[in-house]
Amino acid sequence: MTADGHGRVELCVVIGSGCAGLTAAVYAARGRLQPLVIEGMEPGGQLSLTSVVENFPGFPDGVNGFDLIDNIKRQAERFGTRYRQSVVTRVDFSERPYVLHLQDEDEVIRTQSLIIAAGARARTLGLPGEKEMWGHGLSSCATCDGAFFRDQRVVVVGGGDSAMEDAIYLTKFASEVHVVHRRDTLRASKIMQERARSNPKITFHWNRVPVEILHQAGRVHGVRVKGTGGETGSEKISCDGVFYAIGHEPNTGMFGDALPKDAQGYLTAHGVVSNLPGVFIAGDVADHHYQQAITAAGTGCAAAMEAEDWLQAEGLLQA
């Protein structure tokens, strides 16, 4: 489709290629919606960056996150899903079919129905040293970057399941893992807490927040942390690498104010049905509570079924 308005109109476009988007694609493809998946900034989503997923039903011994995503992707492809490696920068909801603008491309895509499964991205802190060292000793992906820290000291920031999972994973490589958490109780599930607490390589620094990523000559050499109880001083934790595991922010910038959001910026919907005709919402972009692979998959499935019903009711889908 060119910007002047000629070309194909899609029946169903899925924004996002994580667990929600790909599951939506499986169902949409089997429903003969011929979905086009725009893969987005992080193809495969958060799950493809996860080491072992132990709680996805059907895998008693766990499954590698990347493999799980790759399997769903191939499953959707088998039924006719098409993929496009691009990023949606703006969606124009003022006319139907809706118009999607893509990064670095003159082309636009028009679609009758849209499944938004844009997911969420890792949160950062905006600390001094963060910009300079991002990707050079500072990361939000232990699975991607952990192996660079063999026999070195690393810091993990956060107290949730991701932080515990990252800390445990990093003990495979690092000599010491230091968890910095802003409270004295963990948010993580009991099983993850127990595993982390019983790991002799992991040390907890309670009631602390990082205030600066310390670096010299292109290398991280520590994190400056401060107490959360109003203490005036700060202390340095020496380390070679830092991993943020402090949650996520939903990817909603491309929608402007067209879709309602909750107080934390996540999209809101009635189940998976948005306030706009033919627009459905699935996965973490609308979920700050469960954020599980299986719930994302579930809403992806529901969104595709709703899209199929809607297209049928609009007379856009041949019986």
Residues found near ligand NAP in the complex (CB under 6 A): 55, 125, 158-163, 165, 182-183, 187, 209, 245-247, 291
Closest approach of ligand NAP to the CB of residue 160, in Å? 2
Is-contact 183 227, C-beta < 8 A? no
Which stretches of 117-233 are assigned E, i.e. beta strand? 120-122, 138-139, 153-157, 176-180, 202-205, 208-216, 219-227
DSSP, res 49 = G
For residues 246 and 302, which CB has a smaller minimum distance to ligand NAP in the complex? 246
Residues 6+ apart with CB under 8 A from 14: 21, 24, 25, 28, 35, 36, 37, 38, 114, 115, 117
Alpha-carbon distance 219 to 160, whole Å?
27
For residues 160 and 222, which CB has a smaller minimum distance to ligand NAP in the complex? 160
For residues 72 and 120, which CB has a smaller minimum distance to ligand NAP in the complex? 120
Closest approach of ligand NAP to the CB of residue 43, in Å? 19
Read off φ and ψ for residue 306, nearest 5 degrees. -65, -40
Closest approach of ligand NAP to the CB of residue 84, in Å? 28
Q: How many CA atoms lie within 13 A of 12 on its CB side?
A: 36
Catalytic residue list: 141, 144-145
For residues 250 and 278, which CB has a smaller minimum distance to ligand NAP in the complex? 250
Overall size of the chain counted in residues: 319
Closest approach of ligand NAP to the CB of residue 16, in Å? 17
Residues 6+ apart with CB under 8 A from 131: none
Both structure tokens of 132: 């300079």
For residues 69 and 209, which CB has a smaller minimum distance to ligand NAP in the complex? 209
Closest approach of ligand NAP to the CB of residue 53, in Å? 7
Alpha-carbon distance 214 to 59, whole Å?
41
Work out whether the CA dihedral 267, 268, 269, 275 comes out positive or negative: negative
